[in-house]
Amino acid sequence: MKGATLFISSKNYSSWSLRGFLLTRLSGLDFEEQVVSPDDPTRRAELLLQTSSIRIPYLVHGDVVVWDTLAMAEYLNETFPKAHMLPDDPKAGAHCRSVSGEMHSGFAALRGSLPMNLKLFRPDFTLWSAVRADISRITDIWRECLDTWHGPWLYGRRATIADAMYAPVATRFRTYDVKLDAKCEAYCEHVLGWPDMREWWAAAQREPEQIEELDIEF
């Protein structure tokens, strides 16, 4: 099969692009990045949560085109089974799929109120009740995984699809100064120290564009 290209959006603002990048890196697939134009209306609408579906990022691998991060995760896992993107244990694999799906389809309050912005820091940010409920559920998931599979990743000694799906949440917790218990704080630190995450974060700091709607004080 011919080479691969991952089409992404803003590295500073796009949590979905980050997930696509981490998933593709996890698979071991050699790929090039291509950034969709900042003037693309679909791209901007998705960043501002003004669209019902997410079509960026998408992966072109030979004659295969796949979008939606869960579809990308399943495709990459099937195509590169030696990458072990899901836990080997069937019970853990089912759990990993479940919490990844929950991240993919849920937590609307957190997405809307704490948009990803890697250049931003909001100390003592006010968290409304719906956001606190989302944070509580996410940290419950993290603690359950870490208690059951003993870390440092959610399913043990190797990063999986779930870690890629929840990685943007770790950045949101940092941006908006979310206070965490010791176990979840350690997991956040581990995710943010992921070499692929550090690479993405550094590139986001160099990104020149700014979207005022996502930088406002609110």
Same domain (yes/no): 104, 184: yes
Rounded Cα gap, residues 8 and 22, in angstroms: 12
**pLDDT over 80 (residue 3):** yes
Residues 6+ apart with CB under 8 A from 3: 30, 31, 32, 62
Same domain (yes/no): 24, 125: no
- Mean pLDDT along residues 31-53: 65
* β-sheet with 4-8: strand ranges across: 31-35, 4-8, 58-61, 64-67
- The answer to whether the beta carbons of residues 50 and 213 sit under 8 Å apart is no
Same domain (yes/no): 98, 182: yes
Rounded Cα gap, residues 90 and 212, in angstroms: 45
Of 58, 83, 108, which marks where a domain is finished? 83
Q: Which residue did the predictor score with more confidence, 23 or 217?
A: 23
Task: Provide the domain limits for residue 183.
Answer: 90-201
Backbone φ and ψ of 204, nearest 5°? -65, -35
Split into its structural domains, the chain has a count of 2
- Mean pLDDT along residues 29-46: 75
- Mean pLDDT along residues 76-94: 97
Rounded Cα gap, residues 127 and 69, in angstroms: 27
Same domain (yes/no): 110, 176: yes
Same domain (yes/no): 173, 103: yes
Q: Render pLDDT for 103-133 as a digit per residue (tens, 0 to 9).
A: 999 999 999 999 999 999 999 999 999 999 9
Give me the DSSP letters along 7-41: EE--TTT-HHHHHHHHHHHHHT--EEEEEPPTT-H
